[in-house]
């Protein structure tokens, strides 16, 4: 009975709501007929191109967009946990403008692109979020790296000119996806060769370190499991040594074969799906070597656990 009374009690209120809506519509139509004509507002300007080079003119966005650059990432795997506020991993680098700091910091001063291992090119024009400048790297319109430069820790920063005086801006935060997601166009500026599969995951091989005299050799890390590199590498490293610059007698396992620049592809080898231009990367089940298949020959790269200090 109480439920029936409650349902009946709602009828007058429903009729009142209908009357108010009809009345509001009538008043709105009357005012519209009395008001002068107003031109339609112009369309909003298009956002900056994702392929644009970094520019000193940042595109502003509302300051409430994000509390951390991590919120902007579009990672297919787990974001790299090494990404964080800059002072948690390194001393921030300061300078007169965000653009100057970005260009200095991204160059890496001879390390792997920079101490964070992110690509050195392909970033958009900076986006302004409050007093933070966001330099964004995308792959297929998905955000994979965000570098933030702001005044927040500028007083702690050593300047790009080497001075320790207070700076107006400094590197603030870096957030990034796993390196496997950086796309076939990724560049670290280290003579890398990037391999990509049909899904867009990548690998890269690099020249050996020059401070050990190994720059004529090349190394390729294969993570286990593929495709993600992980913040701490787990897998095997394979080496090409065409001129014999690497130490001898340090193959990964007894019985492993040394590098060979012209071999037959084993019958049990399988195509990994990773390619660099017209080169193919092939695996074998025991993991003791990988094979680089060229149009006219095949290279054997053995697994080797080498250290260079």
User: Residue 150 has what pLDDT?
Assistant: 96
175 shares its domain with 220 = no
What are the pLDDT digits (tens) for 3-12? Answer: 333 333 333 3
User: Residue 102 has what pLDDT?
Assistant: 94
166 shares its domain with 249 = no
263 shares its domain with 237 = yes
In a domain, 214, yes or no: yes
Task: Tell me the average pLDDT of the chain.
Answer: 80
Q: What is the mean pLDDT of residues 108-135?
A: 84
In a domain, 16, yes or no: no
* pTM of the model as a whole: 0.76
In a domain, 237, yes or no: yes
Look at residues 129, 158, 181 and tell me which one is the last residue of a structural domain.
181
User: Residue 23 has what pLDDT?
Assistant: 40
Q: pLDDT category, 68, cuts 50, 70, 90?
A: confident
In a domain, 251, yes or no: yes
176 shares its domain with 216 = no
260 shares its domain with 154 = no
* Domain span at 148: 59-181
Query: What is the number of structural domains in the chain?
Result: 2
198 shares its domain with 177 = no
Q: pLDDT category, 31, cuts 50, 70, 90?
A: very low
In a domain, 25, yes or no: no
Does the pLDDT of residue 195 top 60, yes or no?
yes
What are the pLDDT digits (tens) for 101-118? Answer: 999 988 865 455 677 889
Look at residues 160, 181, 202 and tell me which one is the last residue of a structural domain.
181
User: Residue 162 has what pLDDT?
Assistant: 87
In a domain, 242, yes or no: yes
User: Residue 15 has what pLDDT?
Assistant: 29
Look at residues 181, 212, 227 and tell me which one is the last residue of a structural domain.
181
151 shares its domain with 211 = no
240 shares its domain with 292 = yes
User: Residue 10 has what pLDDT?
Assistant: 35
Distant-in-sequence, close-in-space partners of 34: CB < 8 Å, separation ≥ 6 = none
Chain center to CA of 213: 31
What are the pLDDT digits (tens) for 36-46? Answer: 333 333 333 33
């Amino acid at each position: 009975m109480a439920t029936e009374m409650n349902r009946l009690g709602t009828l007058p209120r429903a009729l009142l709501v209908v009357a108010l809506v009809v009345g509001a519509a009538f008043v709105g139509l009357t005012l519209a007929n009395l008001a002068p004509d107003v031109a339609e507002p112009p369309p909003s300007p298009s956002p900056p191109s994702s392929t644009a080079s970094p520019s000193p003119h940042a595109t502003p966005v509302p300051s409430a967009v994000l509390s951390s650059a991590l919120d902007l990432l579009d990672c297919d795997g787990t974001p790299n946990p090494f990404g964080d506020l800059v002072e948690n991993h390194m001393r921030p680098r300061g300078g007169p403008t965000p653009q100057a700091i970005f260009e200095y910091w991204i160059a890496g001063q001879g390390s792997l692109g920079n101490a964070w291992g992110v690509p050195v090119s392909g970033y958009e024009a900076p986006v302004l979020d409050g007093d933070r400048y966001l330099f964004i790297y995308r792959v297929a319109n998905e955000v994979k790296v965000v570098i933030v430069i702001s005044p927040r820790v500028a007083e702690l920063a050593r300047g790009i000119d080497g001075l320790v005086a207070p700076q107006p801006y400094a590197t603030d935060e870096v957030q990034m996806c796993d390196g496997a997601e950086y796309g076939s166009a990724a560049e670290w500026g280290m003579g890398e060769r990037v391999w990509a599969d049909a899904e867009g995951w990548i690998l890269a091989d690099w020249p050996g370190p020059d401070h050990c005299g190994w720059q004529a050799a090349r190394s390729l890390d294969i993570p286990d499991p593929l495709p993600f590199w992980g913040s701490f590498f787990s897998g095997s490293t394979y080496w090409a040594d065409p001129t014999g610059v690497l130490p001898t007698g340090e193959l990964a396992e007894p019985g492993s074969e040394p590098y060979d620049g012209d071999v037959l592809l084993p019958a049990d080898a399988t195509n990994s799906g990773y390619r660099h231009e017209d080169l193919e990367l092939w695996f074998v089940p025991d993991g003791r070597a990988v094979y680089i298949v060229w149009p006219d020959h095949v290279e054997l790269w053995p697994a080797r656990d080498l250290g260079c200090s």
